[in-house]
Structure 1
């Protein structure tokens, strides 16, 4: 069972990456996509982003420069501390996320077509459990 599980997890990851690449002509990295997704919710200071994503400020800075060069984000001085920069999505960044979300909707249609209602519910439960475990492990490693 271990070999089958490892193999299917790898295949699933590869397929999802391939699907993502179809809507990613600028080759936005996974990290950059995660940043854009967070900025869709609200504006962030870099220190908040680096903490939320469990990455160093220097790694975050490189990703932010790339997103800024693509025109997906803007940065402006924070009101409380003008040395800190508030990072926001631009209209171009929002458009990128909308196009990506359209691809997610296509995946949803494919999943609904290939899985019965019961299989969909089981998949949701198992995926939620696994995502929760991965997230919890990552957050626990942050605090060590």
Structure 2
């Protein structure tokens, strides 16, 4: 029987492999994470994106520049403070995520096949609890 550590490492490897398989546009993992975060949050300052993703502002700046070049995002001055930029998805960015989401449906199909309804509910609750704990730890480090 695998330990929790082994299980988490294996799950992470499998999810990365699935991400690679469903990414025909060849965007980087970081670029995808930025797009996904913007899809959830709608509009964010780069400083907040770097904190939420746990990366340096320099690394994020490069990713944002590439995403702007590909027309997946746009940045505009914050209405309250013109020195601060707000980053949003473009229609092209929304469409890319929609296309990638079709590939992610494979994960859902496999989960439906291997988990009972009760196990699906348990897995969802536990995964959400764990994800929230990881995010909370990252955010605490920047307070």
Structure-2-length-normalised TM-score:
0.82
Q: 1:21 — aligned with what?
A: 20
Kept after mapping to 2: 8 A contact 1:23/1:99: no
Compute the RMSD of aligned alpha carbons: 2.2
* Number of aligned residues: 142
What secondary structure is seen at the aligned counterpart in 2 of 1:88? strand
Q: How far did 1:9 drift?
A: 1.8
> Aligned partners of 1:15 and 1:111: how far apart in 2?
13
Kept after mapping to 1: 8 A contact 2:52/2:135: no
> Aligned partners of 2:36 and 2:140: how far apart in 1?
22
Unaligned runs of 5+ in 1: none
Unaligned runs of 5+ in 2: none
Q: 1:42 — aligned with what?
A: 42
Once the two structures are superposed, the pairs formed by residues 82-93 of structure 1 within 5 Å of their partners are: 82-93=82-93
Q: How far did 1:113 drift?
A: 0.9
Once the two structures are superposed, the pairs formed by residues 1-144 of structure 1 within 5 Å of their partners are: 4-40=3-39, 41-143=41-143
Moved more, 49-58 or 113-122: 49-58
Kept after mapping to 1: 8 A contact 2:52/2:139: no
